[in-house]
Every structure is written in C-alpha cells, then in structure tokens.
Amino acid sequence: MTALPEPVTVEEVAAEVTYDLRRAVLRPDGGEITWAGDEDPATFHLAACTSDGVVGVVRFSPAPCRWRPEARAPWQLRGMATEPSMRGAGVGRTLVIDGLARVAARGGDLVWCDARGTAAGFYERMGFAVVTEPFDKPGIGPHVGMLIEVSST
Ligand SMILES: CC(C)(COP(=O)(O)OP(=O)(O)OC[C@H]1O[C@@H](n2cnc3c(N)ncnc32)[C@H](O)[C@@H]1OP(=O)(O)O)[C@@H](O)C(=O)NCCC(=O)NCCS
C-alpha cells in the first residue's frame, strides 16, 4: 500500500458533504445521489479530509440484515467512495475502521453491505465475509452481500 501523502482526518459530516463524491464515483452516469435514510438522525456520514478537501466518504445507518435476521443491532454500510487519485493509500481503510468503531460505540453488533463485485476484495481486506451468491443491481452491476460482526463497547 502506498503511504498517505499527507494527514487524513475522519469527520462526521452532514449528508450533503458526501454528495459530490457519490456523484463522481458512484453515479457517474447520473442516478440518484440522495438516498432514503440520509437525513435519519441515527444515520452518520463520514468524510476523510486532507488539506485539499474531501477525499473519501461513507455512510452507516441502522438497517435490518436480510442474511442475519437474528442480528440484534445490524447496521448498513453504503456510499463508500474514495477519490480516484487517492486510491490504494488507505483512505477507505481509515473510513471503514473509524465507522466500525462508531457503530460499536452505538451498540451495533453487525455491519453489512451490498458490495460491488469490483470492491469485494477491499471489504475482504477489512474483515468482511461474502455471504451471498452474486446478484445484479440494475444500472450498477454485479454485487455480493457481505458482512462483519462487531463487538459493542
Ligand atoms: C473500493 C474503494 C472504496 C477502496 O478505497 P481505497 O481508499 O482505495 O482503499 P484502501 O487504500 O484503504 O485499501 C485498503 C486495502 O484494500 C485493498 N483494496 C482496495 N481496493 C481494492 C479492490 N477494489 N479490490 C481488492 N482490494 C482492494 C488495498 O490494496 C489495501 O490492501 P492492503 O490491506 O494490502 O493494504 C475505492 O476503490 C473506490 O472508491 N472504488 C469505487 C467505488 C466503489 O466501488 N465503492 C464501493 C461500492 S460497494
């Protein structure tokens, strides 16, 4: 992994701070960049920032997990995106580690996501496991269900 060129800080931010990267990275062909739950008070949004501005974003929100209905306090990870010129430098890792700690601090016991097939290897590096067969999201492409258990603090 390439070392981060400069300090990256992670901050909880308002949903709209994440929209530019969502648009550029996750919806380059158009498509909705504001999603149900963005403004839910339980949802939190993280931004990784350098002196150049926001270089990575992600969202965590409480949501039932269809693969682990017995989970006591499941959360969904969504909207994970790193600015292209900063990829492979640890921005995504910093955001996920920080987010998992914040979920644990809020009493969550599991985090799940619909992972793009191209990003599944990243989530595996973060400790997530694939729990589904591949499935398609129209207009976006192949995905797999992934999850990680977290310990409440
Ligand atoms: C997936 C994404 C968020 C990863 O962010 P990143 O900042 O580049 O990730 P990091 O640099 O923190 O990588 C952490 C580790 O995962 C690995 N990794 C990163 N992206 C990977 C990928 N797509 N596949 C496999 N491994 C990957 C890195 O090599 C690094 O490995 P290491 O533990 O050996 O050092 C970024 O590539 C991205 O924004 N992709 C496009 C949008 C997307 O697919 N988002 C996910 C939607 S579900």
> Residue ranges of the domains in the chain?
9-149
Which residues does ligand 1 sit against, CB inside 6 Å?
1, 25-26, 56, 80-82, 87-93, 115-116, 118-119, 121-122, 125
Question: Closest ligand 1 atom to the C-alpha of 26?
Answer: 42
86 CA from centroid of ligand 1 (Å): 10
Question: Closest ligand 1 atom to the C-alpha of 94?
Answer: 12
Fold of 9-149: Aminopeptidase (3.40.630)
**Contact by Cβ (8 Å): 18, 61:** no
| pLDDT for the residue numbered 54 | 97
| pLDDT for the residue numbered 39 | 98
Q: Considering only CA atoms, give the Rg of the chain.
A: 15
Can you list the residues of the chain whose pLDDT is less than 70?
Answer: 1-5, 153
Q: Which residue, judged by its Cα, is nearest atom 10 of ligand 1? A: 90
**Contact by Cβ (8 Å): 54, 17:** yes
| pLDDT for the residue numbered 13 | 98
| pLDDT for the residue numbered 87 | 97
